[in-house]
Structure 1
């Protein structure tokens, strides 16, 4: 059985500024279950990168273990890729990003890979503000091992076996906010109009950018009692506001009344636009975002959209004052400055 996408495509497919079509950002044919939310997220990533006109070889995609961590096979087939061990993707991204700051790092993980075995690594990569996009494909269960509840399953939610979950859930955006993440968002795999602009904004952000995406498991966790099902999410989803992403070369216009639209210039000159945001919610205030998340949790709602962004974010390279040039571009003389420099370092530590 072949899992390769046919190379022949319609010659009139739309091209971006670099001359690439969406086909140039695709990967292999998905082997996930038909209807899996993860495939919708993969499609949103392909659309976002194509529209941002990013060269495929400028992207490095990394993952851990799980259904979600298989998905990088299905997008950006011409980009760099590394599939790490369970829960350790953040360490691999950190090492790669420290060695070569010129790539765009896209980490893909799941609720088990992040909220269970990888929770410690997730916490540290968030607090260090590593310059990366971290997408969690969150379905509230372990799909590869027959659907047991994961750490993000809500208390009282009912699994396919009919048993309610007795434990409270880990809210990954709330954890990220508490630890100092500088870009935090949540979305739904079935809402591409919201998800694509969020991915674009995350890729333009300087620092750690989390997008927690509710992605229903159609095989094990799409039952009426599940709070991660398509039906429940659609009925209980509450957006902070409509999100648009405006590339830096496009004219910035608005159709909304003053006070109902907020334009924020990103580090690269692009603009993220928040339309008709609730006056009681400020996405640029960390405490406001934490209160909004807790309020929505208590009311049984799933808050989506841009939850928080630090407009003055300083990523890990800035905090550590690392080399402006990637390590693979430095010469032996620069990497090994000699015994005198070593002695100076040793003296400073005495």
Structure 2
């Protein structure tokens, strides 16, 4: 059996607006377990970047440690990448973003990498509103260390070992909303029709964008008593509504039904359109979003789709007043303006 992807492709593969085929966005072959939800998320990231016609070399993919953090090797093989220390991906992403603000930053993390060892890092990258897409591949367990419950495992949920989790779970979407994230969504690895437009919208959003993706672990947490198994999520998933992303290149038109459809334009002119299924959700209100999440939790259901959006939040560069040019493109004179400027700065603090 061969595990080598052929280099020869069909000469008439579809191309995007900049002439790249989908193959140009591929990476190495996955070594994850067959059926792992993480591979579906990788495929959705790949497809989103292809459809958005982003040049691969203008993307920086960041990760920490864990099954999820291995996945950047499996997509966007021609992009920049950095596999960092466990839970410290946000710091590396922040440093890279400060050096070159012109790249598209996609951070991939897991529920352990984010909600346990990396919780402090996650909290601060959210409140600083770093311009990045933060995708959590959430399976409720530590897949690399034999399936122990993670901090996002629901109370009473049981993995392969069969012992119900006694602790309350951390809801990363609610946490992100409370900390000031401008874009918060939840999805399911088995629902690419929902996930792909969410990723495309998150990439186009300026500021911090979180997508918490329930991604079942087929080896340790795909049991009948697990709330993050394929069967449970499919049977208990309820979407906020049908979600569309309309890029700037397309004519943005819509037919409004009062109380049913909401559309909002992002800073780059693209648009997000939500055909709401729930009349109670105001996705521009943090309180409304958290109330809706909690309402579905009480029913034992997983609310997916766009949960909260505020395109007006200033990102880290705006908050700090940094230069509009990437630091790596500045000249020596611009980086070192001289002792007189330094004296002026020092005197301003006296």
TM-score class normalised by the smaller sequence = over 0.9
Give TM-score scaled by structure 1 length: 0.98
Question: Using the alignment, how far apart are the partners of 1:195 and 1:315 within structure 2?
Answer: 24
Query: Secondary structure in 2 aligned to 1:113?
Result: helix
Q: TM-score, normalised by structure 2?
A: 0.98
> In the superposition, relative to structure 1, how do residues 338 and 3 fare at CA in structure 2: closer, same or farther (>3 Å)?
farther
Question: Mapping of 1:190-229 within 5 angstroms?
Answer: 190-229=190-229
Name 1:306's counterpart in structure 2.
306
**Structure 2: gaps of 5 or more residues:** none
Report what 2:337 is aligned to.
Answer: 337
When residues 347 and 4 of structure 1 are mapped into structure 2, their CA distance, relative to the original with a 3 A threshold, is farther
Partner of 1:18 in structure 2?
A: 18
Post-superposition offset of 1:5: 2.5
CA distance in 1, matches of 2:268, 2:329: 23
1:52-76, Cα deviation, whole Å (9 max, x unpaired): 0000011000000000000000000
Identify the residue that residue 159 of structure 2 maps to in structure 1: 159
Deviations 1:276-312 (A, max 9, x none): 3422110111110011111111221101000001031
Size of the aligned set, in residue pairs, is: 350
Counterpart-to-counterpart distance in 2, 1:165 and 1:216: 16
Cα deviation, residue 256, structure 1 = 5.9
Does structure 2 retain, via aligned residues, the 8 Å contact 1:4–1:28? no
Structure 1 stretches of 5 or more lacking a match? none
Q: Equivalences for 1:1-350 in 2 at 5 Å?
A: 4-254=4-254, 257-350=257-350
Q: Using the alignment, how far apart are the partners of 1:150 and 1:5 within structure 2? A: 34
Q: In angstroms, what is the RMSD of aligned CA positions? A: 1.2
SS at match of 1:243: strand
Q: CA 1:19/1:225 → structure 2, altered by over 3 Å: closer, same or farther?
A: same
Distance (Å, rounded) in 1 between the aligned partners of 2:165 and 2:15: 48
CA separation in 2, counterparts of 1:96 and 1:322?
14
Alpha-carbon contact 2:206-2:311 (below 8 Å) kept: no
Tell me, yes or no, if the aligned pair for 1:3 and 1:28 is still in contact at 8 Å: no
Structure 1 segments, 4+ long, off by >4 Å, are 1-4
Q: Residues of 2 paired with 1:24 and 1:265: CA distance?
A: 30
Deviation at residue 4 of structure 1 after TM alignment? 4.6
